[in-house]
């Protein structure tokens, strides 16, 4: 898939007010890769390599690292989105399809309830008419909803496509190779933009947020699920102990890759805390920006609207 060059347009169309310099956004060529200092290009290449290495074991490792709780966090994200039939969703850095599959299930459930309510209010329908209504709904179970999964990593997309085929997802689902900082989509295209556990791995968070704003329709919603900062000192110490002493070991045992999971732990510590990320989202032009802490701030869901 050919990436379009829209960075200049995104920069020109950003809202008034200079973006504030923040931790995680290096002004010069040097940036963080975990606790290392690298150039912007080195960071991009290293992160690509991390996810290429872990793609095949990504889901297993997520279950192991979070004791399966990541599934609940993703469920909460989709319920917070509350998509209705006809919603056009862009899920960025969603290569393995977890958000996309939940979106499809949610919309199908809404459509089914809508059909049941409709038939309940027409008690005089014949059996044939009821049967035909269900048949019609089966062929259009998403009500024109669509989800586009966009990921920069080919291997992650490959794993996601294999999962979709295995689980029987095909309707209303498409896969696009693309960079969060230079999205290959037109302006004002999507109703909802989601990024789950991906924004801390983009090279320039400010550009990714500007691109999110650009591709959303007026009234569109931005939702970001990401590891964040625990405020409780005792819990924070326990969390650090688990993160640095256990997760890399799990990475070695399950995926044969200590270093990639050491980076993932370090990247969480380098990521901006909740209030700082909220301000960055506002800088990109979003309104009504808010966040919800889950599990005492181990993760947070940030949301905002394009008005």
pTM, 2 dp: 0.82
Q: What distance in Å separates the CA atoms of residue 56 and residue 256, rounded to the nearest whole number?
A: 11
* Residue segments in the chain with a per-residue pLDDT below the cut of 50: 1-28
The pLDDT value recorded for residue 125 is: 65
How do residues 171-180 score in pLDDT, each as one tens digit? 899 999 999 9
Distances (CA, A) of 295 to 85, 136, 189, 236, 242: 30, 42, 33, 11, 15
The pLDDT value recorded for residue 30 is: 74
Residues whose CB falls within 8 Å of the CB of residue 253, separated by 6 or more in sequence, listed in order: none
Give the chain's length. Answer: 307
As its CATH architecture, domain 68-102+145-228+271-306 has: 3-Layer(aba) Sandwich (3.40)
The pLDDT value recorded for residue 294 is: 97
Coil, strand, or helix at residue 190?
strand
The pLDDT value recorded for residue 138 is: 55
Residues whose CB falls within 8 Å of the CB of residue 110, separated by 6 or more in sequence, listed in order: 83, 84, 85, 143
Query: In 159-215, where do the E strands start and end?
Result: 173-177, 190-196
Quick check: 252 and 259 in contact, CB under 8 A?
Answer: no
Kindly state the tokens that stand for 244.
């640095």
The pLDDT value recorded for residue 166 is: 95
How do residues 119-142 score in pLDDT, each as one tens digit? 666 666 676 666 666 566 555 677
């Amino acid at each position: 898939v050919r990436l379009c060059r829209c960075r200049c347009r995104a920069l020109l169309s950003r809202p008034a007010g200079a973006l504030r310099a923040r931790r995680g956004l290096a002004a010069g060529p040097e940036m963080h890769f975990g606790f290392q200092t690298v150039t912007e290009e080195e960071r991009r290449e290293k992160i690509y390599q991390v996810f290429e290495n872990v793609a095949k074991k990504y889901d297993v490792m997520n279950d192991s690292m979070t004791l399966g709780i990541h599934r609940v966090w993703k469920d909460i994200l989709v319920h917070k989105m509350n998509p209705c039939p006809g919603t056009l969703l862009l899920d960025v850095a969603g290569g393995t399809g977890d958000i996309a599959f939940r979106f499809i299930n949610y919309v199908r459930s809404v459509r089914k309830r809508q059909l049941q309510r409709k038939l309940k209010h027409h008690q005089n329908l014949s059996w044939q008419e009821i049967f035909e209504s269900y048949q019609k709904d089966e062929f259009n179970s998403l009500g024109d909803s669509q989800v586009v999964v966009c990921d920069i990593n080919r291997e992650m997309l490959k794993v996601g496509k294999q999962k979709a085929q295995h689980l029987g997802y095909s309707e209303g689902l498409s896969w696009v190779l693309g960079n969060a900082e230079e999205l290959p989509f037109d302006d004002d295209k999507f109703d909802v933009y989601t990024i789950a556990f991906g924004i801390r791995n983009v090279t320039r968070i400010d550009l990714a947020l500007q691109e999110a704003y650009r591709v959303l329709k007026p009234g569109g919603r931005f939702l970001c699920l990401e590891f964040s900062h625990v405020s409780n000192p005792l819990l924070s110490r326990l969390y650090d102990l688990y993160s640095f002493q256990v997760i890399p070991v799990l990475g070695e045992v399950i995926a044969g890759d200590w270093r990639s999971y050491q980076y993932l732990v370090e990247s969480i510590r380098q990521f901006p805390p909740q209030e700082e990320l909220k301000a960055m989202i506002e800088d990109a032009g979003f309104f009504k920006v808010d966040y919800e802490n889950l599990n005492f701030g181990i993760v947070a869901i940030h949301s905002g609207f394009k008005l």
